[in-house]
Structure 1
Amino acid sequence: MSNTTSAPRLDGKIAMITGAAKGIGFATAQKFAREGAKLSICDYDEAALKEASEMLKTSGATVESFVCDVREEAEVKTFFDETMKAYDRIDVLVANAGVIPEATIEQASSDLWDDTFAVDGKGMFLCGKFAAEIMTKQGSGSIVFLSSISAYGGQVGQAVYGPAKYVAAGLTKHFAIDLAPKGVRVNAVSPGTIDTPAVDKLSDDGIKKVVGMHPMGRMGRPEEIANGIAFLASDEASFITGADLPIDGGYLAQ
């Protein structure tokens, strides 16, 4: 019997993760590091990003970190330029940065709509665009957008967030078609309600209602989403592109 063990699924990969200081983004950075990836992470929260970076480095991860507001094209470009200077290639992008406003259609304002779409829509597009430009030159790469079950099913108080997250779902399909002939795969993950700091900002009543809509009767854990992202990012998913993986405790199965 052979005593050899398989290499980590992301061994030697260069992975960029946005919104990586907390929640799903940080859990994904931890998972990727355990799977052998070298990391370039960003977040708009400088203090939280510094803490996350230090924790990752303490665990033995190779990490470059950058403060970046994904709404700002110049900052996104700098994030990608500096990552290329550090590593000279990008194998994976996880476009995770996002906001989760709670508002019914009566409560929603045009400013809230614009602000949400600036992060969850434009921010996803900009990150995907810069990644695509680099990956197509390489002839390889994997992009994972973070969508949401809110893009597909109506939820109380998600009249702005749900439509914004449908942008990620749409980007996945269109990027996948454009980039498949160029060796770049593009997929999405659609989490259900996950126990993260962003969700903690919702009202108790809002959380109770949303959790009650999941057949498993609980929120998911950030590491459960990170596991799915790692699979889609890896070569194990080499024939998967244009897919949107729900990790939602059965929500969309209803």
Structure 2
Amino acid sequence: MTQKKNPFDLSGKVALVTGSTMGIGEGTARVLAEQGAQVIISSRKQDQCDAVATAFREQGLKADGKACHIGRMDDIAAMYAYIRERYGRLDILVNNAVLSPWRTIEDTDVGLFDKTVEVSLRGYWFMSAEAAKLMKTHGGGSIVNIASVAALHPDRMLSLYSTLKTALIGMSRSFAYEYGHEGIRANTILPGVFPTKLADAFDEKARRKILDKTVLGRFGKVEEIGYAVTYLCSDAGAYVTGANLVVDGGMTIGLM
């Protein structure tokens, strides 16, 4: 009897995860690699990319590192030139790198606004556009944009962050619509609170309040976003596109 293929298996796939030297990005890249993907670790600093990729390889995973500041168009072009030369294909793009200013609306000046848009929206758009060009040459692929439950429930001090995370929902749906006939799927994940630098900005009182509103009573583990990404990028999620997947332990239920 022929053994049925594991629908979550990513063997033979090439995956690029931005902002993957720490936090959700690193956890996601690790899960994808554990499922058999060749992962490209990426963030702004090459030495940090190399360190994480080396640690992965020492654990028997397939990884290499390539620095890319997604707010710089030249860096995006260099990344895709590298992917074409080294792998000739890209099957998975996870847009995770982000700039998250902790400011009131009135304290958000034009310079900070433009810098944040360059990374957190323009960067996602052109990383995805270049990925789509490459993906359609070999039958398709999967793009996952990491947004936030802040897209649904904005908070004080995070208005610009929330605004751009909301924009990612529309962006994913637009890419899903335009590239679906090419076999390219695009989806959005909306994480709740996870142990990241952004979460460190919350004081103990705020953290307690969040936990009280989270029905599972805990913060997320970074690998749990990786599992969600794996579903969306594998054969298990082959019929899912233009969707928003909330991974928040029930926090948004508690906020209703």
TM-score past 0.5 threshold? yes
Q: Deviations over 1:121-158 (max 9, x none)?
A: 11111110100111122221111111111111122321
**1:42 and 1:67 in contact (8 A); partners too:** yes
Whole-angstrom CA distance in 2 between matches of 1:166 and 1:228:
19
> How many residues get paired?
253
The equivalent residue for 1:25 is 25
SS in 2 for 1:67: coil
Q: Secondary structure at the match of 1:217?
A: coil
Residue 138 of structure 1 is matched in structure 2 by 138
**Superposition pairs of residues 113-192 of structure 1, within 5 angstroms:** 113-192=113-192
Letter in 2 for 1:31: V
Partner of 1:220: 220
Equivalent residues of 1:99, 1:198 under 8 A apart:
no
Q: Aligned AA for 1:91?
A: D
Deviation at 1:226, TM superposition (A): 0.8
Matched, 1:97 2:126: no
Q: What is the root-mean-square deviation in Å for CA atoms of aligned residues?
A: 2.0
Q: Distance in 1 between matches of 2:211 and 2:106?
A: 23
User: 2:56 corresponds to which residue?
Assistant: 56
- 1:14/1:39 contact within 8 Å kept: yes
Q: Deviations over 1:146-183 (max 9, x none)?
A: 11111111223211110011121111010000011111
Asked if residue 241 in structure 1 is aligned to residue 241 in structure 2, the reply is: yes
Partner-residue secondary structure (3-state), 2:159: coil
TM-score, length basis structure 1: 0.92
SS at match of 2:105: coil
Determine the structure 1 residue equivalent to 2:79: 79
Distance 1:106-1:209 versus aligned 2 partners, 3 A rule = farther
Structure 2 gaps, min length 5: none
User: Which 4+ stretches in 1 moved above 3 angstroms?
Assistant: 2-8, 201-213
Identity between Structure 1 and Structure 2 (%)? 28
The residue identity in structure 2 corresponding to 1:24 is: I
Partners of 1:60 and 1:5 in 2: CA distance: 25
What amino acid is aligned across from residue 174 of structure 1 in structure 2? S
Equivalents in 2 of 1:140, 1:113: separation in Å?
Answer: 34
Distance 2:208 2:68 in 1: 33
What are the equivalent positions in structure 2 for 1:37-48 lying under 5 Å apart? 37-48=37-48
- Deviation per CA, 1:79-137, whole angstroms, max 9, x where unpaired? 11111211111111111111222222233333222222211111111110100111122
SS at match of 1:190: strand
Seen in structure 2, the aligned counterparts of structure 1 residues 81 and 122 have a Cα distance that, compared at 3 Å, is: same
SS in 2 for 1:105: coil
Note the C-alpha offset of 1:206.
4.8
Structure 1: runs of 5 or more not aligned: none
* SS of equivalent residue, structure 2 residue 106: coil
Shift of 1:50: 2.3
Conserved? CA contact 2:41–2:52, under 8 Å: no
